[in-house]
């Protein structure tokens, strides 16, 4: 991709973050992974940590995230990113480590790993993208699928009597003592995107301060597997997902509180 010369009489106000590569993403039109990638990359740039950051990609739609982040990356087995991140952070405590995980990865197959790292207070950051569905495998029921939501494996709608209830991970993780900062945000409109970026930044700052485990759950969309247009998907998420998954912080440790107030 060729860079365009900036005319002398114009000011550069917006550019690709250094922490993103030039690669085109494979994400579907209307997908919010690209927005979230960019927010993380902007934060890594602003904190000037790109050159000492190690990311872990999950299994799921963002499995190829390692092509898009211009930082060292490893690819984990499904659900195991928090364990891998533990290994990396323990032998490289000076590095900035993050996992990027979806709802199937984090809230189903990797439930044990995420709870244990939060409980141990592993000082890394997890970005948890919740779009209430398995995207990569073609739209099956996720642990976060809403009651009554139709998916390819809940064709008559999720029946909570037989499949259990959607898991509120931010609340579940927030009660663990090792978690320093846990929050749920949404990238469904401009203000939400700005709040999400603030939360991601605070999560990484909490890591840099060695304060404990930090996780940002992000309510996201999946136009393709929800069978909706991108705008319709955003509206549906606002109306239905945010109603079930309230936005806001579920854990702010004293150390993180001091960070917030110091800003």
Draw the binding track, 80-109, toward other proteins (x: CB under 8 A; -: no contact).
Answer: x--xxxxxx-xxx-xx--------------
Whose Cβ is closer to other proteins: residue 69's or residue 245's? 69
Whose Cβ is closer to other proteins: residue 52's or residue 240's? 52
- Distance, CA of 87 to CA of 46 (rounded, Å): 26
Phi, psi of 191, deg, nearest 5: -60, -40
Sole binder of other proteins in the list 6, 77, 160, 231 (CB under 8 A):
77
Whose Cβ is closer to other proteins: residue 64's or residue 260's? 64
Asked if 37 interacts with other proteins (CB under 8 A), we say no
Phi, psi of 32, deg, nearest 5: -95, 0
Asked if 125 interacts with other proteins (CB under 8 A), we say no
Asked if 152 interacts with other proteins (CB under 8 A), we say no
Give min distance, CB of 155 to other proteins, in A: 29
Strand partners, 101: 128
What DSSP designation does 218 have?
E
- Distance, CA of 197 to CA of 203 (rounded, Å): 10
Asked if 181 interacts with other proteins (CB under 8 A), we say no
Asked if 53 interacts with other proteins (CB under 8 A), we say yes
Helix, strand, coil percentages, rounded to 5, for the chain = 40, 20, 40
Whose Cβ is closer to other proteins: residue 120's or residue 238's? 120
Q: For residue 54, what are the CA distances in angstroms to 4, 69, 73, 85, 239?
A: 30, 10, 6, 9, 36
Q: For residue 185, what are the CA distances in angstroms to 57, 64, 199, 229?
A: 20, 23, 8, 22
Whose Cβ is closer to other proteins: residue 82's or residue 174's? 82
Q: Which stretch binds other proteins (CB under 8 A): 72-80, 138-146, 217-225, 251-259?
A: 72-80
Whose Cβ is closer to other proteins: residue 94's or residue 254's? 94
Residue with the two structure tokens 């001091």: 258
Residues in the site for other proteins, rule: CB under 8 A?
A: 21, 50-54, 56-57, 63-64, 66-67, 69-77, 80, 83-88, 90-92, 94-95, 112-113, 116
């Amino acid at each position: 991709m060729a860079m365009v010369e900036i005319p002398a009489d114009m000011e550069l106000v917006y550019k690709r973050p250094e922490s993103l590569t030039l690669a085109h993403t494979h994400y579907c039109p209307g997908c919010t992974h690209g927005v979230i990638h960019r927010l993380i990359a902007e934060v890594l740039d602003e904190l000037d940590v790109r050159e000492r950051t190690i990311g872990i990609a999950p299994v799921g739609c963002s499995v190829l995230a390692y092509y898009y982040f211009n930082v060292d990356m490893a690819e984990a087995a499904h659900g195991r990113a928090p364990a891998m991140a533990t290994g990396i952070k323990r032998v490289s405590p000076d590095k900035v480590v993050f996992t990027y995980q979806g709802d199937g990865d984090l809230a189903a197959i990797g439930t044990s790993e995420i709870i244990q790292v939060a409980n141990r207070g592993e000082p890394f950051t997890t970005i948890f993208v919740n779009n209430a569905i398995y995207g990569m495998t073609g739209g099956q029921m996720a642990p976060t699928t809403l009651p009554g939501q139709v998916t390819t494996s809940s064709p008559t709608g999720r029946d909570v009597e037989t499949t259990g209830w959607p898991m509120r991970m931010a609340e579940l993780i927030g009660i663990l003592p090792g978690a320093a900062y846990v929050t749920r945000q949404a990238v469904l409109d401009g203000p939400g995107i700005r709040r999400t970026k603030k939360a991601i930044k605070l999560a990484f700052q909490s890591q840099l301060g060695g304060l404990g485990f930090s996780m940002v759950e992000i309510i996201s969309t999946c136009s393709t597997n929800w069978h909706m247009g991108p705008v319709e998907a955003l509206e549906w998420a606002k109306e239905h997902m945010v109603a079930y998954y309230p936005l806001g912080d579920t854990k702010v440790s004293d150390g993180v509180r001091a960070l917030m107030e110091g800003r």
